[in-house]
Amino acid sequence: MATPASPIPAADPADPAKPNSEIENYTIPDPEPFISFAALKDRIRHHYELASDYYYSLWGEHIHHGYFLLPSDTKELAQLQLIDLLLAKSSLPKQSNVLDVGCGIGGTSRFLASKHNCAVTGVTISGRQVEIARRLTLEVGGVPSSEADGFAKIGEGEVRFIELDAEKMGEFFGQGEFDCVWISEAMSHLPNKQLFFDNAFRLLRKGGKLVVADWFKNEGLSEKELKDDISPIEDGMLLPPLCTQADYVRHAETAGLKTYAEPFDISKQVSKTWDISWALIQNPALWAFAVAQGRDGLAFMQAFRAMRRGFANGTFRYAVMVYEHP
């Protein structure tokens, strides 16, 4: 990848809504008319096929929020602290058989295998992400199994990566196959949330855990708040309508799952992620790439500012939660 050019002067960190003057030169056409959820999934797949290498170069192997506990926390430490929080909330035993849904380039999957001795199957809709995840696994010393199961030994655990639409996981894997279904910041992309919870119930053994970290809209928002803060996030991040935390609780209960750890809102502790992200994307080369991708590329980049504004206004939330198969 080419050496990044000199950064564009950053937006005012004290005012997340204040635009960067050069970035504002890029105007975004009105949202495209909704066609179908299948078309939305195609756009999501296309996005990750093109952008995953950029994610890795800017953000590292853990492409998720950081849980910032101290002002001195680096983004790398904060990302690991989010995984540790989920492990603490779920009391997930070591050597568990884990399905990591929306695994990205495999950072969490490798962590659970190498640090928690788990057997992890990571699934993503993007074939490019599978390629990167497998390469990074080998680079950190993963040893491919002699079996034809696709696993690679890493530490005391093992990991494999499969290209799979998450909505088909209930058909692909066996009933009661997993001790844990882990999904971090991926369920918000899924059009049919109830189907996901139903599939998780089917794939978990009795006593198994569904571990969730995700983005949410706040309860009781006005039409103006939805239009100003939430719609730009849904548009730019290729999301179907965002849910509230209470919506996920209802979906889980409908599927037959029981709440193990109630929604724990950590919006304040993760919002710094988007201050860092906004600084990272002040790069003309990255904006040139976005322009080349057309409307979706520009809307994605502009959504970073909407994320900061939503966190600042309290309209956009982040929470972790855990459910159990009774």
Q: Which residues contact 285 (CB under 8 A, 6 or more apart)?
A: 2, 4, 5
Q: 107, 104, 53, 101: which is closest to 80 by C-alpha? A: 107
Q: How many Cβ atoms are within 10 Å of 5's Cβ, its own excluded?
A: 12
CATH number at 33-324: 3.40.50.150
What residues contact 57, with CB distance under 8 A and at least 6 apart? Answer: 1
What was the pLDDT predicted at 4?
A: 31
CA gap 104, 102 in Å, rounded: 6
Range of lowest pLDDT (21-30, 88-97, 183-192, 228-237): 21-30
Residue 107 has pLDDT above 80, yes or no: yes
Could you tell me the pLDDT band of residue 61, with boundaries at 50, 70 and 90? confident
pLDDT band at residue 121 using 50, 70 and 90 as cut-offs: very high
Q: Of 11 and 260, which is predicted with more confidence?
A: 260
d(CA 235, CA 32): 9
Number of helices (H) and strands (E) in the chain: give both, helices first: 13, 9
Joined together, the tokens standing for residue 189 give: 């992309």
Tracing tokens 């999957």 back to the chain, one arrives at 109
- Are 205 and 176 a contacting pair, CB within 8 Å? yes
Q: What is the pLDDT of residue 56?
A: 65
Q: How confident is the model at residue 185 (pLDDT cuts 50, 70, 90)?
A: very high
Mean pLDDT for the stretch of residues 116-138: 94
**How much is the mean pLDDT over the chain?**
86
Angle at 241 between CA 52 and CA 129, to 5 degrees: 15
The answer on pLDDT for 143 being more than 70 is yes
Report which of residues 51 and 192 the model is more confident about: 192
Task: For residue 173, give every residue at least 6 positions away whose Cβ sits within 8 Å of its Cβ, in sequence order, or none.
Answer: 99, 121, 203
Rounded to whole angstroms, the Cα distance separating 44 from 127 reads 12
Q: Would the pLDDT of 7 be above 80?
A: no
Give the pLDDT confidence of 275-323 residue by residue, as tens digits.
888 777 776 766 777 777 777 777 777 788 889 999 999 999 999 999 9
Q: Is the pLDDT of residue 25 over 70?
A: no
Token pair of 50, please?
């093109």
pLDDT at 285: 67
Catalogue the E-assigned strands of the chain: 97-101, 119-124, 143-144, 152-154, 157-163, 178-184, 204-217, 258-265, 316-324
> How high is the pLDDT of residue 1?
32
Compare 5 and 209 and report the one with higher pLDDT: 209
Q: Lowest mean pLDDT: which of 18-32, 142-156, 248-262?
A: 18-32
Which band of pLDDT confidence, cut at 50, 70 and 90, is reported for residue 131? very high
Query: Stretch 3-7: mean pLDDT, rounded?
Result: 29
Q: Environment class of residue 264 by beta-carbon count within 10 Å: exposed (0-12), middle (13-18) or buried (19+)? A: middle
| Other beta carbons within 10 Å of 110 | 27
Task: Identify which has the larger pLDDT, 184 or 4.
Answer: 184
